[in-house]
Amino acid sequence: MTQPPQPPDGNPYGQQQPYPPQQPYGQQPYGQQPPQQQQPYAAFPQQQPAPQGGFPMAPQPHGRTGNVGLGVAVAIVLLFVTAGVYGAIMKAVEHEIGYAAVAVGLIIGFCAGKVGGRHPALPIVSAVVALIAVYLGQLTGYAMAIGEGLDVSFFTVLTDHFDLVNQVWKHEKDVLTFVFLAVGGAAAFSAAKKAGD
């Protein structure tokens, strides 16, 4: 049995070949593949592979999902609740209050967004519903004042004599009336957008 040649300095480990032997790129020993480069961080999530020849799955939208129809239903129910509260406050202080209009918009928008989730139509619907709620709240305040003077319920005045209440609203309206309407709608839009995220 022959010994491999020894290096001149007597060190048997001095000039050994590396293990495994170096091979040119693409000819790795034992069928190993060259190491893969890692992909840099992608800004968007990668698409899922298509299940057995189908189309790839669409990336999921960011934000919370919910029931849009239920969100709209909650906004409509809150329309009547907040309009009644707004009217009662307006009748108690005998003038309109901007903070009450903001509160109406925030309540409607927040609750609709929490229940309905992130949907592009929900902030718009919330804003429209809040505008109607503030308007109806102003009418309710006038109906309460008229009903107290006639000794009848405000609901009777509001339903049976709506044209009279609306005429009072038109006579009493000023710039602040429309500012409060706009503020209520804007608050609802913003609250629904934030609550849906």
What confidence score (pLDDT) does residue 3 get? 62
What confidence score (pLDDT) does residue 55 get? 58
Compute the residue count for the chain.
197
Q: What is the mean pLDDT of residues 78-83?
A: 94
pLDDT at 174 over 90: no
What confidence score (pLDDT) does residue 78 get? 94
What confidence score (pLDDT) does residue 151 get? 83
Reported confidence tier of residue 136, pLDDT bands at 50, 70, 90: very high
What confidence score (pLDDT) does residue 149 get? 82
CA distance 3 to 134: 101
What confidence score (pLDDT) does residue 34 get? 57
**pTM value > 0.85:** no
Question: Rounded to an integer, what is the distance from CA 99 to the centroid of its chain?
Answer: 23
* Torsion angle of C-alpha atoms 50, 53, 55, 56, degrees rounded to 10: 10
pLDDT at 44 over 60: no
Task: Tell me which residue of 169, 100, 167 sits closest to 130, measured CA to CA.
Answer: 100
Bridge partners (DSSP) listed for residue 57: 48
CB-based contacts of 176-179 (< 8 A; 24+ apart in sequence): 176/96, 176/98, 177/96, 177/138, 179/98
Q: Is 14 helix (H, G, I), strand (E, B) or coil?
A: coil
Q: 45-65, pLDDT tens digit by residue?
A: 555 555 565 555 555 555 556
88-99 as b/e, with b when 16 or more CB fall inside 10 Å?
bbbbeeeebeee
What confidence score (pLDDT) does residue 120 get? 87
Q: 22-42, pLDDT tens digit by residue?
A: 555 555 555 555 556 555 555
What is the Cβ-side half-sphere exposure of residue 112, based on CA atoms within 13 angstroms? 34
Q: Give the list of residues 6+ apart from residue 156 with CB closer than 8 angstroms, or none.
A: 147
pLDDT at 21 over 80: no
DSSP 137-184: HHHHHHHHHHHHHHTS-HHHHHHHTHHHHHHHHHHH--HHHHHHHHHH
